[in-house]
Amino acid sequence: MTTFFSSVLNTLDERRAAKRERAALQRQMASYANHADRLDLQATLDRYPDEETAELRSILAAQPA
């Protein structure tokens, strides 16, 4: 039973870490506030496959234009 609880705790720790990392990334991407900066970022993302940039695109789409 302790292995199960250890697994659950590890999963929770990983989720918390991922949430902190995403929040930090959202703050960093918020600095792309003006239209020209957002276009530059979009152009950079377009150079990479969608599966590699999906999270970044999602964050960018959720932020106010």
Residue 50: CB partners within 8 Å, gap ≥ 6? 57
Closest CA to 34 of 42, 22, 45: 42
Q: For the chain, how many structural domains are there in total? A: 1
| 47-64 tens-digit pLDDT | 999 999 999 999 988 888
How many angstroms separate the CA atoms of 47 and 41, rounded? 10
Answer yes or no: pTM beyond 0.85. no
Collapsed DSSP state (helix, strand, coil) of residue 64: coil
| 4-61 tens-digit pLDDT | 989 989 999 999 999 999 999 999 998 887 889 888 999 999 999 999 999 999 998 8
Range of the domain at 21: 2-62
Q: Provide the pLDDT for residue 49.
A: 96
User: Got the DSSP string for 35-59?
Assistant: HHHHHHHHHHHTTS-HHHHHHHHHH
